[in-house]
Amino acid sequence: MSATFTKSTLLLSLLLGLGQAQAASEPSPKALASHLGIPHPAVIAHRGASFDAPESTAAAYKLARDLGADYLELDLQRSQDGVLIALHDNNLQRTTDVAQKFPERKDSPANAFTLAELKTLDAGSWFNAAYPDRARPAFVGLKILTLDEVIDIAQSNPLHKPGLYIETKEPQLFPGIEHDLKAKLQDRGWLSPAGSKLGKSELAVGQGKGKVVLQTFDKSSLELLQKEMPKVPKVLLLWVGEDSIEPKSSVTFAASGEKDKAAYYARQEPKDKAEFQRWIDYAKAQGAIGTGPSAALTRGGEQSYSDLVQPWMNQYTHDQGLLVHVYTVDDAVDYQKVMEAGVDGIFTNRASELLKFYKRPAVASVGQVLLNNGY
């Protein structure tokens, strides 16, 4: 054996050893979550309990809260007059009666309306029409909520106060929204450090210092959130497509000629292993405590995207000292699959089912909780 070969072998062994030692030095995902004050595994109620009630409405958020979800998840937008609201779509037509109330403005984005105008919209009836088996008369006329109103809901059950998991939605449309969010959370006492007077009072909500988690797909917004709220846990959302992980295929959806957008995106995969790792490394470098990757669902459907929670992906993320919160999973077969792959929490529209899966069943049924809240 040559001296050169021996030196090369020793150097390679040393480098491998250093890499393993670095990975071993990172706390376990459960220990990391505990340190951050984030439940493990976490039940994140996607737009509230949105399988059983209209998304992002009081009915959905009160249901998720009273079932025992760890977090109420919401998408943050801003009205024309500067009020922070919880709303997913930029266009109002899917979930409101904007076409009837404001026919000439039906295609206008939500931020073209004042809060007073948004509050005239019916954000519940669409659900009854789309899901007649889950329809309830009391859903008719439900309103778009402000961030203040979602905070009120999170705080108002003395037995269980969930945290907030807030996404800056299309932040380029709302310059300065990261600063506005900080100001609102500060004003409402949600940025108080663990152990503070407020943190020990009856107003304390969520899970101590992990009571707020901030999330975004947008790199610039992640950097601004880190600048505004460096101590608040942040998650970089991931998918394979525009402005995120570069796909192996260069054929865009528009050029593919396909009609099923969900099926198209579900087939996408990262260009290569290094491309996936680059995004994880970026998230860590910007101060994120975790990632929010997409999942490929067994039954497919519009929530099924690229499988970004393969065991090696989760392992790499964990080796960098980051958590993995996967979106959006509703079936037991997929809960099992992603947990076995190594995720640390799940975004779900069916909080009742995920709680059951984690052997944390609610004390009352979905129907009873809705009735208790007047629905």
Q: Read off the tokens for 371.
A: 């009735």
Task: Give the pLDDT of residue 202.
Answer: 40
Residue ranges, the chain, pLDDT below 50: 1, 3-5, 8, 11-12, 14-15, 18, 21-23, 194-205, 207
Cβ atoms 95, 139 nearer than 8 A: no
Segment (H or E) for 292: strand 290-292
d(CA 318, CA 222): 20
d(CA 208, CA 320): 24
Cis before 39 (ω within 30)? no
Q: Read off the tokens for 55.
A: 């998304």
d(CA 51, CA 48): 9
Residue with tokens 């459960």: 30
Q: How many CB atoms lie within 10 A of CB 38?
A: 29
Q: Which residues contact 334 (CB under 8 A, 6 or more apart)?
A: 295, 297, 298
**Using CA atoms in the order 290, 171, 166, 129, what is the torsion angle rounded to 10 degrees?**
-120
Cβ atoms 90, 77 nearer than 8 A: yes
Comparing CA positions, the residue from 193, 136, 155 lying closest to residue 72 is: 155
> Whole-prediction pTM value?
0.90
Cβ atoms 289, 322 nearer than 8 A: yes
**Cα→Cα distances 359→30, 52, 193, 332, Å:** 17, 20, 30, 12
Task: Give the pLDDT of residue 264.
Answer: 86
Residue with tokens 């969520």: 206
Q: Read off the tokens for 106.
A: 């039906």
Q: Looking at this protein, which amino acid is placed at residue 8?
A: S
φ and ψ at residue 294, rounded to 5 degrees: -85, 165
| Residue 314 Cα to chain centre, angstroms | 17
Task: Give the pLDDT of residue 37.
Answer: 86
Cβ atoms 139, 128 nearer than 8 A: yes
Cβ atoms 284, 291 nearer than 8 A: no
Q: How many CB atoms lie within 10 A of CB 170?
A: 19
Each residue's pLDDT tens digit, 65-108: 999 999 999 999 999 999 999 999 999 999 999 999 999 999 99
| Residue 117 Cα to chain centre, angstroms | 27
Query: Coil, strand or helix: which one is 290?
Result: strand
d(CA 322, CA 21): 16
Comparing CA positions, the residue from 210, 233, 228 lying closest to residue 163 is: 210
**CA Rg value for the chain:** 22
Strands 84-86 and 145-146: antiparallel
